[in-house]
Amino acid sequence: VTGDKDALQLISPKVKIMTTKKGITSTVLYDRQAVIERYGVSPERMVDFLGLRGDPSDNIPGVPGIGEKTATKLLQEFESLENVLKNVDKVSGKKIKGALMEFGEQAMLSKQLAVLDSNSPIEVNIGDYKLGNWDEQEVRGLFAALEFNTLLERLFSKDNNFFTDRLAEILHPKVLRLDDGGDWDGFLKKVESNRLFGLWVAMSEEDNSMNRKAKKIGISLDDCVYFIPKIFFGRIKPYLESRDYKKTVYDGKSVINCLRNEKIIVKGINFDVMVAAYLLDPLKDKYSLEEISEKYLKAGFSQKGEEVFGQSVLAVLKLKDVLNEKLKEMGLLDLFETVEMPLVYVLSDMEWEGVGIDVGYLKNLSLNIEDNLNNLERDICNLAGEELNVNSSQQIGKILFEKLGLKCIKKTKTGYSTDYSVLLKLVDAHPIIEKIIRYRELHKLLSTYVSVLPRLVDSKTGRLHTSFNQTITATGRLSSSNPNLQNIPIRGELGRDVRKAFVPSRAGDELLVADYSQIELRILAHLSEDENLIRAFEEGKDIHAKTASEVFGVDVGEVAPAMRRAAKAVNFGIVYGMSPFGLSEQLNISKEEAASYIEFYFNRYPKVKRYIEESLVLAYKNGYVKTFLGRQRNLPELKSSNYRVRSFGERLTINFPIQGSAADIIKIAMVNLDNELKKRGMQTRMILQVHDELVFEVPPLERGIVAGLVRDIMENAYPLRVKMEVDIRTGNNWLEVV
């Protein structure tokens, strides 16, 4: 945990960095992909980034005039600081080129200052820093004497089990190595007798699970752990590949794909400790096996590598019964067994399959965007009346609010704010604003996707293998990383063109996209039982035009585009618990007008209002909300004395059951579709899940059958009071099916 950016260079598959922001009240957890998304460079290039950008907090000067965005752009083009300085004549922009020529030596010194020496001698045992057992009474007395009243309240409130959760023991398994001299007969007889075991795989450290190699396998039976070296994997392969032998694992998706690399197709995984822990407490940032063990077994791990391996294998099996009982108590066992566990296999298959990427097309798109950026940079400088670094927010701020005299909307500690919300309010004030917005959009597009996607294509398969995250979002929605496909642009011509790069990986195949139509509004109609809202869907008309007609009191045919846009904002605003202020910001109207829209809406759909009011009463009473299938989210925000935090909790009260139920429904559909496609022996593969849509790679001969199958299964995944509808489109790339 640190506030220093230079620590980001330490990130690896085993290391994440939590950085503080806004003082110490908020934190951001960085892994490799998060660094790339935030800074546009990989962790190992952060020292080059700081060499250019500098870091005033650590007295690292960098290069004057080069800000964050310029540093990113230079490193994406030239990869390292050394290459930037070698190719300074190729750098665009006179000021930047001049600064690099003048301060090149300072940049190299800055890079050296930013490097953290990982070989420095450390003469302490890391175990000395592990939090030990505390004497509760002694701590109470000390804190009372020192008048640490806030800490006393936080540590000893009835909602905090800080002391009762202290570790009671360290796991001490009996570890047996199975090699040529091992008791294989005794081990295999025990496996065949138990027919249930814990499975743990020690893996290599690649980011993507499909590239990881298994170093050794651990199997736990009762209190014994068996350590199986790689050369003996073949002896246990039949048991790993049999559905008759049930396996308990941690992070089953990674286990499945890692062992695929060893030509082992694991079957029979019926309990994933990580997924179970996530369902029980979906608000955590991470679910390491040691943390799960400490919480539910009251037992931790030692710090020695070989011991940790044995402890991990044993913990996996011991946790099964404890977590299974907890899932029963919370009414989550059915969701776990029928949706989340089958989904582990579905997601592992999707990751393994991957999606085709047209790398040549992206290279051409990159050149096109760079030309656009150069033209925009020239236009911005002309409109500003001087040369400036377009990537510098400070320089842009001075031009807009000092030289051009535009109205200052917001200030930050470092000067004028020029973020998107500010620029949007100024878009009619001067033609330079639209150019700046466009420049930033294209720059982000280039740095986040167009120049990054080709580097993520696997050299062996020629495909992009994103990681689908099952245990990240509190709502149950899936997310993805390496890359984050949820944020692939859909608006703007060039933004949409990024999707054109996603193509079938098999020659002759097509992409088929199935998208739930307004699923969250249909769920709202189901939950609220509002007859008018249900009727609007039953009539099969444009729901936003219908809502506009109801709210504004005009015929559907007379609904103007602005009316429909407002009705759409209200429809989705209700789902997300939006306030009149939030709606006014979105529609750029007064707060009073926004409030009147919401009032009209509730007058026309009174049971929606009643549903919201009753949901809030229950949430304050129970302290949690649930989805159809029992997925639960605790709402500690409702207990906050801070109005904003409490208001956020109230928005979650409305949104979680709707968004979470939508997530449950699409997961059910994914599991059912996967089963049906495999049962029929079809060549069609499900390859992506983004928001409310599923993407398949389909041979033309299967197109008609698959389209009908997908529609039927998705529309009947869960019985709602209103019919679910699915839009299906096919094409040669992802853009064609948008």
57 vs 683, higher pLDDT: 683
What is the structure's pLDDT at 33? 83
Residue 262 banded pLDDT, cuts 50, 70, 90: very high
CATH number of the domain within which 376 lies: 1.20.1060.10
CA 529 – CA 523 distance, rounded (Å): 10
Token pair of 27, please? 């934190």
Please give the residue range of the domain that contains residue 216: 169-354
Residue 164 banded pLDDT, cuts 50, 70, 90: very low
Residue 728 included in any domain:
no
What is the structure's pLDDT at 298? 85
Place of tokens 């704010």: 417
What is the structure's pLDDT at 578? 82
Contact 48, 40 (CB under 8 A): no
Q: Give the largest CA-CA distance in the chain.
A: 85
- Terminal-residue alpha carbon distance, the chain: 41
CATH number of the domain within which 640 lies: 1.10.150.20
Long-range contact list for 552-557, CB < 8 A, 24+ apart?
Answer: 552/600
**pLDDT tens per residue across span 644-660:** 889 889 999 999 999 99
DSSP H helices, 414-514, are 420-425, 431-445, 453-456, 493-499
CATH number of the domain within which 266 lies: 3.30.420.10
Residue 76 banded pLDDT, cuts 50, 70, 90: confident
**pLDDT tens per residue across span 200-253:** 999 887 766 677 889 999 999 988 999 999 999 999 999 999 999 999 999 999
* pLDDT over 60 (residue 24): no
* pLDDT over 60 (residue 337): yes
What is the structure's pLDDT at 136? 63
DSSP secondary structure letters along 626-641: E-TT--EEE-GGGG-S
Residue 158 banded pLDDT, cuts 50, 70, 90: very low
Q: Which of 128-142, 326-340, 525-539 has the lowest mean pLDDT?
A: 128-142
* pLDDT over 70 (residue 303): no
* pLDDT over 60 (residue 268): yes
Number of alpha carbons in the 13 Å side-chain half-sphere of residue 560: 4
Residue 710 included in any domain:
no
Residue 150 included in any domain:
no
What is the structure's pLDDT at 553? 83
Q: Are 234 and 301 in a shared domain?
A: yes
**pLDDT tens per residue across span 284-299:** 878 999 889 988 998 8
DSSP secondary structure letters along 565-602: HHHHHHHHHHHTT--HHHHHHHHT--HHHHHHHHHHHH
Q: Are 319 and 403 in a shared domain?
A: no
Contact 379, 435 (CB under 8 A): yes
Nearest to 689 by CA among 378, 543, 473, 541: 473
**pLDDT tens per residue across span 592-624:** 988 888 888 898 899 999 999 999 999 999 999
467 vs 586, higher pLDDT: 467
Please count the structural domains in the chain.
Answer: 4
What is the structure's pLDDT at 23? 43
Q: How many angstroms from the chain centroid is the CA of residue 382?
A: 40
Q: Are 308 and 385 in a shared domain?
A: no
What is the structure's pLDDT at 689? 95
Contact 521, 575 (CB under 8 A): yes
Average pLDDT on 377-402 reads 92
Phi, psi torsion values for 513, nearest 5 degrees: -115, 130
Residue 145 banded pLDDT, cuts 50, 70, 90: low
End residue of a domain, out of 658, 689, 715: 658
Residue 453 included in any domain:
yes
Average pLDDT on 313-320 reads 94
Residue 480 banded pLDDT, cuts 50, 70, 90: very high
End residue of a domain, out of 606, 624, 658: 658
Place of tokens 């001075």: 398
**pLDDT tens per residue across span 87-99:** 888 888 888 888 8
Q: Are 77 and 183 in a shared domain?
A: no
Residue 581 banded pLDDT, cuts 50, 70, 90: confident
Q: Are 536 and 594 in a shared domain?
A: yes
DSSP H helices, 500-579, are 519-528, 531-538, 543-552, 561-575
* pLDDT over 70 (residue 310): yes
Name the average pLDDT for the chain: 88
Q: Are 310 and 379 in a shared domain?
A: no
425 vs 210, higher pLDDT: 425
Q: Are 250 and 339 in a shared domain?
A: yes
In single-letter form, the type of residue at position 130 comes to K
CA 146 – CA 154 distance, rounded (Å): 15
Residue 138 banded pLDDT, cuts 50, 70, 90: low
* pLDDT over 90 (residue 124): no
Average pLDDT on 347-376 reads 95
Residue 578 included in any domain:
yes
Q: Are 297 and 434 in a shared domain?
A: no
Long-range contact list for 331-336, CB < 8 A, 24+ apart?
Answer: 331/630, 331/632, 332/279, 332/280, 332/630, 332/631, 332/632, 334/629, 334/630, 335/279, 335/629, 335/630, 335/631, 335/664, 336/275, 336/276, 336/279
Q: Are 238 and 318 in a shared domain?
A: yes
Average pLDDT on 1-13 reads 79
Average pLDDT on 257-262 reads 94
CA 664 – CA 478 distance, rounded (Å): 10
Q: Are 328 and 364 in a shared domain?
A: no
Residue 133 banded pLDDT, cuts 50, 70, 90: low
Average pLDDT on 384-410 reads 90
Percent of the chain residues topping a pLDDT of 70? 91
464 vs 23, higher pLDDT: 464
Residue 672 included in any domain:
no
Residue 547 banded pLDDT, cuts 50, 70, 90: confident
Pairing status of strand 510-516 against strand 624-626: unpaired
DSSP state of 407: P
What is the structure's pLDDT at 192? 95
What is the structure's pLDDT at 588? 80
CA 526 – CA 524 distance, rounded (Å): 5
Average pLDDT on 309-326 reads 93
Q: Are 564 and 642 in a shared domain?
A: yes
End residue of a domain, out of 295, 324, 354: 354
Ramachandran class of 730: left when φ > 0, alpha when ψ lies in -120 to 50, beta otherwise: beta
Q: Which of 331-340, 521-530, 571-580 has the lowest mean pLDDT?
A: 571-580
Residue 733 included in any domain:
no
Q: Are 332 and 200 in a shared domain?
A: yes
Average pLDDT on 450-465 reads 92
Residue 167 banded pLDDT, cuts 50, 70, 90: very low
Token pair of 632, please? 């639960």
pTM: 0.77
CA 241-246-252 angle, to 5 degrees, is 75
H, E, C per residue of 323-344: HHHHHHHCCCHHHHHHHHHHHH
Residue 648 included in any domain:
yes
Nearest to 469 by CA among 343, 625, 333, 606: 343
CA 435 – CA 280 distance, rounded (Å): 48
Residue 118 banded pLDDT, cuts 50, 70, 90: confident
Q: How many CB atoms lie within 10 A of CB 135?
A: 10
